[in-house]
A and B are shown apart, each in its own frame.
Chain A
Amino acid sequence: MTEAIQIDHLSYTYPDATHPALADVSLDIAQGEWVAIIGHNGSGKSTLAKNINGLLAPTSGQVTVAGLPLTEENIWDIRAKVGIVFQNPDNQFVGATVADDVAFGLENRGMPRDEMIVRVDDALEQVNMSAFSSREPARLSGGQKQRVAIAGIIAQRPDIIILDEATSMLDPAGRLEVLQLIQALRERQSLTVLSITHDIDEAASADRVIILNDGAIKESGTPAEIFARGPELIELGLDVPFAERLKHALISRGVNMPAHYLDEEGLVNYLWTLHSTM
C-alpha cells in the first residue's frame, strides 16, 4: 500500500451548475511523491483539492487517501492527514494573533500546551515569521499572510500537503525558500506534496506534472517532458521556461538549436560551446 492518494473516475458538478467542474478524473499519487497540478483559471484545480480532503463530496467516483476511502466515517481521519494551504490566506485565518492562528489546528486535536508552543514556534521560524507571532493576521502584508498560512499547515505535520497557489504573492526568493522548506520536510518525514500552481519554478520542483483542462486530465509527465513543449506551454496553462524562450528567440534569428528541452545550465553550456568554436 504505497499510494497516498487514489482518485478513481471522480466527477464533480457544483450545485446548480450546468457544466461539471471535474469530469472522470483518475489519478494515483504515490507516498512521498511531489505532483504539480497546472491548468487554466477555472480548469478544476481547487475543486480537485477540495474533493481530496472531503470539503466537497464527489458527484460520482471514489477518492481514497492513505488507504482510507473518503466516507462520512473516515473524513476526520483523512483531514488529520491532509493539510491544505488555500488560494486566499484571508479565508484560512481564524486566530486573533499569528501564534494563535498557527496553534488552532493543534489545539483542536487536543495537543498538550507545551508541545504545541514548540511546534508553533518552530513552524513560524521556518517561514521567517517569528518576529510577527503576536501580530493580528489581518494586519500583515500579502506575502506575510501567505507565510503564516503555510506555517499553520506545516505545524500540523500532515502526511499530505496540498499547496493551492500558496506562494503566489511571494517574491521569487521567498518562493524559492518555501519550496526548499517543503523539500527539506519531505526528506525528514515522508511527505506527499500536491502543488497547484501557475509558476514554472514550482512546477519544476515536482516529480510529475499534471495538466488539467476543463475538468479533465489533459496530460501528465515529468517536468522535462512537459517543458519540452516550448511555446505551446502557455496554452496549456504554464509559462514557457526562460531557457526555452531564449532558445526560440535564437532559432527565429536563424541559429541552429537542439530540439530537446534545455534547462538554463544546459543552454549556457550549449551557447558557450558555440562561442568557443567560433
Chain B
Amino acid sequence: MDITFDHVSFTYQAGTPFAGEGLRDVSTTISDHSYTAIIGHTGSGKSTLLQHLNALLKPTSGSVTIGDRVITAETNNKNLKPLRQKVGMVFQFAENQLFEQTVAKDIAFGPKNFGASDDEAAALAKQMVTLVGLPEEVLTQSPFDLSGGQMRRVAIAGVLAMQPQVLVLDEPTAGLDPAGRRDMMTMFERLHETQGLTIVLVTHQMDDVADFADHVLVMDQGALIKEGSPREIFADPDWLRAHQLGLPKATAMAEQLMAKGFRFDPLPLTSDELADQLLPQIGGAHHE
C-alpha cells in the first residue's frame, strides 16, 4: 500500500487568530514495504506529517492517497476505521494514550475494536506483551502503575496487536533503556523483513537512520527539503549542519579522522564500515 502526498499543506487552528503552519506544500511517496525515516529539527513538522498517514489530520489543501483512499480537506470522518487498522500509529509520548484498567485490556482494545473475538484479542495481548520485552505478569496490572519505559512498551504492544500493514513510529524508543531500544529496533526490522510491514520512523537518532532506513525525508519548517537514501542524505555533512541536523556517529568520527589525514570513500555510516576502511590505514591487523 503506497502512501502519496500531493501538494499537502496543513494549517493548525485554521481560520483563528492562532493559526499556525504545520506543513507547506509537501509532495512525496512512501512506497509499499519501504522503511522510511523522517528527520528534522524540533518543530519542523515531523509529527504533523505522520498524523496525515492515517487521516488523524486532513490536509488543509492538497491530498493524501493511502492505498485506495484519497484524503482531502473535504473527507468526512466516516469509514476511516479500515484505514486506522491498516496504518498503526505509535504516537510521540505514546504512554498518554493508555486508558484501560489493565494492561491486557489496553492491548486488546484495538483488535476488539476491529472485530477480533475476546479470545483472539486476549491471545494477541499475551503475544505482544512478550514481544515488547515485558513479563506476562504485567497483563493484570494497571498500565498506570508502571514505569515510564514500561508504559511506552505497553503502548507499542497495543499498536502491534492491531496487526497493521503500515507501522508509523514517532520516536518510539525515547525513554527506553539501551537494551530495550536495541531489541525494539531489531523487532521492527524483523517485522519489516519477514512480514513486509511498511515502516515510517521519526527519530533524532541518526544511527538508527543509517542502520535501518532505506529512504529518508528531511523536514524543515513544515517543508520537505530533501529526500533520498541514507547514503545520499549523509554524504553532505555541511548541508546537514547548516540545517541543525546531526550525523551518524561513525560519519562524525570519520570527519574528525579526515581532518588528521585519513581518507574515506564512501563516507562510512556505521562502526563496521568505519573499522573496515580504517584497517588498511593503521597498518592492518596485528595478530600475535
**Residues on A facing B (Cβ under 8 Å):** 14, 17, 39-43, 45-46, 87-90, 135-136, 139-144, 147, 165, 168-174, 198, 233-235, 237-240, 242-243, 245-246, 249-250, 253-256, 264, 267-268, 271-272, 274-275, 277-278
Instruction: Give 15 CB contacts A-B under 8 Å.
Output: A17-B145, A39-B177, A141-B42, A142-B42, A142-B93, A144-B43, A165-B148, A246-B271, A246-B274, A246-B275, A253-B275, A253-B285, A255-B282, A271-B260, A278-B283
CB within 8 Å for A264 and B150 given contacts A237-B179, A249-B272, A275-B261: no
**Residues on B facing A (Cβ under 8 Å):** 12-13, 18, 41-43, 46-47, 92-93, 95-96, 145-150, 153, 170-171, 174-182, 204, 206, 244-246, 249-250, 253, 256-257, 260-262, 271-272, 274-276, 278-279, 281-287
Residues of B within 8 A of A234 (CB): 178-179, 182
Which of B177, B274, B279 contacts A40, CB < 8 Å? B177
Residues of B within 8 A of A14 (CB): 145
CB within 8 Å for A170 and B93 given contacts A41-B148, A88-B148: no
Q: CB distance B47 to A142 under 8 Å? A: yes
Residues of A within 8 A of B246 (CB): 171-173
Question: In whole Å, how far is A257's beta carbon from the nearest beta carbon of chain B?
Answer: 10
Q: CB distance A141 to B47 under 8 Å? A: yes
State A147–B42 Cα separation when bound (angstroms).
10
A19 nearest in chain B by CB position: B137
**With A141-B42, A171-B204 already in contact, 20 other A-B pairs whose C-beta atoms are closer than 8 Å:** A40-B179, A41-B148, A42-B150, A87-B175, A88-B148, A141-B47, A169-B174, A171-B41, A174-B42, A235-B179, A237-B178, A242-B249, A242-B253, A246-B250, A249-B272, A256-B286, A268-B256, A271-B262, A275-B281, A275-B282
Residues of B within 8 A of A243 (CB): 253
Question: In whole Å, how far is B260's beta carbon from the nearest beta carbon of chain A?
Answer: 5
Q: CB distance B174 to A168 under 8 Å? A: yes
Q: CB distance B148 to A142 under 8 Å? A: no
State A256–B256 Cα separation when bound (angstroms).
21
Question: In whole Å, how far is B149's beta carbon from the nearest beta carbon of chain A?
Answer: 3
Which of B175, B274, B281, B285 contacts A165, CB < 8 Å? B175
- Which 5 pairs, one residue from A and one from B, show the smallest C-beta to C-beta distance? A254-B285, A41-B149, A143-B42, A249-B275, A274-B282
B182 nearest in chain A by CB position: A234
CB within 8 Å for A42 and B149 given contacts A143-B42, A249-B271, A272-B260: yes
Residues of B within 8 A of A272 (CB): 257, 260-261
State A242–B146 Cα separation when bound (angstroms).
31
Q: CB distance B96 to A88 under 8 Å? A: yes
State A234–B183 Cα separation when bound (angstroms).
11
Residues of B within 8 A of A267 (CB): 253
Q: CB distance A168 to B282 under 8 Å? A: no
Q: CB distance B153 to A170 under 8 Å? A: no
Which of A198, A274, A275 contacts B178, CB < 8 Å? A198
Q: CB distance B281 to A254 under 8 Å? A: no
State A40–B175 Cα separation when bound (angstroms).
10
Residues of A within 8 A of B253 (CB): 242-243, 246, 264, 267-268
State A173–B93 Cα separation when bound (angstroms).
20
Q: CB distance B177 to A237 under 8 Å? A: yes
B149 nearest in chain A by CB position: A41
State A147–B178 Cα separation when bound (angstroms).
23
B176 nearest in chain A by CB position: A41
Question: In whole Å, how far is A91's beta carbon from the nearest beta carbon of chain B?
Answer: 9
Q: CB distance A264 to B256 under 8 Å? A: yes
Q: CB distance B148 to A254 under 8 Å? A: no
A174 nearest in chain B by CB position: B42
B206 nearest in chain A by CB position: A172
Residues of A within 8 A of B147 (CB): 41-43, 45-46
State A14–B144 Cα separation when bound (angstroms).
12
State A139–B18 Cα separation when bound (angstroms).
11
Question: In whole Å, how far is A164's beta carbon from the nearest beta carbon of chain B?
Answer: 8
Q: CB distance B145 to A41 under 8 Å? A: no
Question: In whole Å, how far is B185's beta carbon from the nearest beta carbon of chain A?
Answer: 12
Question: In whole Å, how far is B222's beta carbon from the nearest beta carbon of chain A?
Answer: 11
CB within 8 Å for A170 and B281 given contacts A40-B177, A141-B47, A239-B178: no
Residues of B within 8 A of A240 (CB): 178
Q: CB distance B42 to A42 under 8 Å? A: no
B274 nearest in chain A by CB position: A246
A277 nearest in chain B by CB position: B283
Q: CB distance B285 to A255 under 8 Å? A: yes
Q: CB distance A245 to B271 under 8 Å? A: yes
State A139–B257 Cα separation when bound (angstroms).
43
Residues of A within 8 A of B182 (CB): 234
Residues of A within 8 A of B286 (CB): 254-256
Question: In whole Å, how far is B195's beta carbon from the nearest beta carbon of chain A?
Answer: 26
State A249–B285 Cα separation when bound (angstroms).
12
Residues of A within 8 A of B42 (CB): 141-144, 147, 170-171, 174
Residues of A within 8 A of B43 (CB): 140-141, 143-144
Q: Which of A40, A142, A165 has the most CB of B within 10 A?
A: A142
